[in-house]
Homo-oligomer: A and B are copies of this chain.
Amino acid sequence: MTQHDNVGHDVETGLIDADAQVESFRQTRNNRRTELVEDYVELIADLLVDGGEARQVDIAQRLGVAQPTVAKMLKRLISEGYIQQRRYRGIFLTDAGRRLADLCRERHQIVESFLCSIGVSPETARIDAEGMEHHASPETLEAFKRFLARTASSRIAAQG
């Protein structure tokens, strides 16, 4: 078997198709570039819902990073149009920010629930979902949702 005559993946020994592999790596690098933005926007939305305001110190404390780190990222979020900031006032989401936050929150929730549904403990599901969510494509999310719906209905059928 040469390096060039297999299109799918070859579990045992060979390499997968080079074009396919480079596509995967590129997509993964792309996802990595937006992970932090997504986590910030989702967290800001949660803080706003819960307490009415999102301050840098709260964000920093919840992320486990220093306040200047947050300050810098907020500038990026502003430049990308997801938030507005009034100096020494709080952080507010733009329409685009709210849209992104909603998407991320739903995606996060699906991934975390799914992990729980296959028997992962809530603590581990929480941790793993925080990283995995950013790499779950719409197609994978649909599969997760199908699975959740199926197990939910079979639970109902089984126990009334």
The one of B22, B135, B139 in contact with A61, judged by C-beta atoms closer than 8 angstroms, is B22
Which label, helix, strand, loop or mixed, suits the secondary structure of the A interface? helix
Cβ contacts under 8 Å, A119 to chain B = 143, 146
Interface string of A80-111 (1 = CB under 8 A from B): 00000000000000000000000000000100
Number of interface residues of A (CB under 8 A): 60
A64: Cβ under 8 A from any B Cβ? yes
Contact B137 A23 (CB under 8 A): no
Enumerate chain A interface residues (CB-CB to B < 8 A): 3, 8-9, 11, 13-16, 18, 20-29, 31-32, 35, 39, 46-47, 49-51, 61-64, 109, 112, 115, 118-132, 134-137, 139-140, 143-144, 146-147
